[in-house]
Amino acid sequence: MLLRAIFDLHNFIAAIKDNSYMRKNYVITCLFMGLLLLNSSCHSKQTEETDTANVRLFMVENAGATSVQEFPGRVKAAEEVNMAFKISGTLMNVYVEEGSRVSKGQLVAEIDPRDYQVQLDAIKAEYMNVKSEAERVIALYADSVSTADAYDKARFGLQQIAAKYENAQNQLADTKIYAPFNGYVQKRLFDPPTVVAAGMPIVTIVSGGKQEIEINIPASTYIHRNKMESFYASFDFMPNQKVPLRLISIAPKANANQLYTVRLSIPQDMSPQPSPGMNTMVDMVISDTASGKTEIPSSALFKKDGKSCVWVYNKKDGVIRLRAVSVKQLHTNGKAIIAQGLSDGELVVTAGVHKLTDSQKVKPMADESETNVGGLL
């Protein structure tokens, strides 16, 4: 049979050589078949390239025993006081303006002292009268002329009016308030002739030196107060910079909002210095709160059948596999804490996760070189 096929092929080639028409059709047929084979090869190669997606990978690592929590804060002066009168009355003068500098002992404000002056004059007259009578009785008692009962009554009466007289003097002195330290006026809250009550703030004075930041933390963070390692502040006027802070104190008691106040000092050599009232964000680094945790970019996570999943890359065959994971916590810094499902050294896809399929072949993207930006070299 093989000999028969060779004989028939030999006769066919001989016929082509003798017939120019058949020879021409044979060449065209060969060219057409060649084009079909070439097109099929290109299409197969293109399909293979289309199925292979470029992906960016992240190597899973144990993040150690620290976590970072972020809290809003506000800049405050190290010394800040709301100046108020100890007594009530009509505000007569406020001697400072907002933003003005004040010196320690400088007169800040005064209420009308007339009622307190009248009160003092009346009590002073009574005091002088009681004092004179008491001194007379005491002298008689010393000469054994007066009784012990009269002596005790005179002595206690003098002590009582003396205390009343001293209180009237203090109230008259309290009609004026003075700056307790060098600084400047942050707020002026009332103007004359407002009637103010005792303890009502009139002006706010802040020191012009050290600055502090106050943040409020929940109880879930407060319980780790002994594990707080460091603090960093960021400001809008200093983008991409973190300012190290020093812990001053943590309030042992929660405020009305069930939050604990944390005071942090700003470096004195910081330039420019923030002003009281400025907003900031504070990063708090806490140790040992999640020992042995695994941290990955949150962009690697997606939902599949109600479960949190990631794509795990296999270096041996170059394909990705679907993996369900247990997410412990999502942070605002774009990181996710994984409780279960991943091991150190595994590679997960971090971008375009919704466009991939299980067992798909992928091509890892090369990391950008710091010395060859854009891959131009």
pLDDT digits (tens, 9 = 90+) for 283-307: 999 886 445 578 899 999 999 999 9
Distance CA 356, CA 52 (A): 10
Would the pTM count as exceeding 0.85?
Answer: no
pLDDT digits (tens, 9 = 90+) for 155-170: 999 999 999 999 999 9
CATH number of 69-77+209-287: 2.40.30.170
pLDDT at site 96: 94
pLDDT at site 240: 84
pLDDT digits (tens, 9 = 90+) for 11-24: 555 554 555 544 54
Evaluated on CA atoms 341, 65, 347, 56, the torsion sign reads: positive
CATH topology of domain 56-65+292-366: 2.40.420
Closest CA to 210 of 80, 53, 63, 64: 80
CATH number of 113-174: 1.10.287.470
Q: b/e for 117-133, b at 16 or more Cβ within 10 A? A: eeebeebeeebeebbee
Per the rule left: phi > 0, alpha: psi between -120 and 50, beta: everything else, 205 is: beta
Instruction: Provide the pLDDT confidence category of residue 373 given band limits of 50, 70 and 90.
Output: very low
**Residue pointed to by tokens 């030196």:** 209
Close Cβ partners of 178 (under 8 Å, ≥ 6 residues apart): 105, 106, 107, 108
Q: What is the DSSP letter of 372?
A: B
The CA distances from residue 200 to 172, 175, 203, 204, in Å, are 18, 13, 10, 11
pLDDT at site 11: 57
Residue-range domain boundaries for the chain? 1-28, 56-65+292-366, 69-77+209-287, 113-174
Segment among 227-231, 284-288, 317-321, 345-349 with least mean pLDDT: 284-288
